Amino acid sequence: MEVIRLGTTKEVPLGEMNQFKIKDRELLVINLDNHYYCLAGRCTHAGAPLVEGTLNGDVLTCPWHGS
């Protein structure tokens, strides 16, 4: 398994998200209660950049179609 450093914990403050690009892939990192979650940076339905969406608690909402 390859481990790739995306950034520092300071780049993703508590309750927030940040997008990183690595090897031509956009990755979204979310910090919930100091647990870090990484997912694809684009909505699988509409292709929207999820970093532009809203994060309300543990619910991430797509900026384009509201899902």
pTM beyond 0.75, yes or no: yes
Per-residue pLDDT reduced to its tens digit, 5-41:
888 899 999 999 999 999 899 999 999 999 999 999 9
Largest CA distance in the chain: 35
Q: For residue 5, what pLDDT is reported?
A: 85
According to DSSP, residue 38 is labeled: E
Both tokens of 51, joined, read 């970093």
pLDDT at 3 exceeding the cut of 90:
no
Q: Tell me the domain boundaries of the chain.
A: 9-61
Report how far residue 67's alpha carbon sits from residue 65's, in angstroms, rounded to the nearest whole number: 6
Please state which CATH class domain 9-61 belongs to: mainly beta
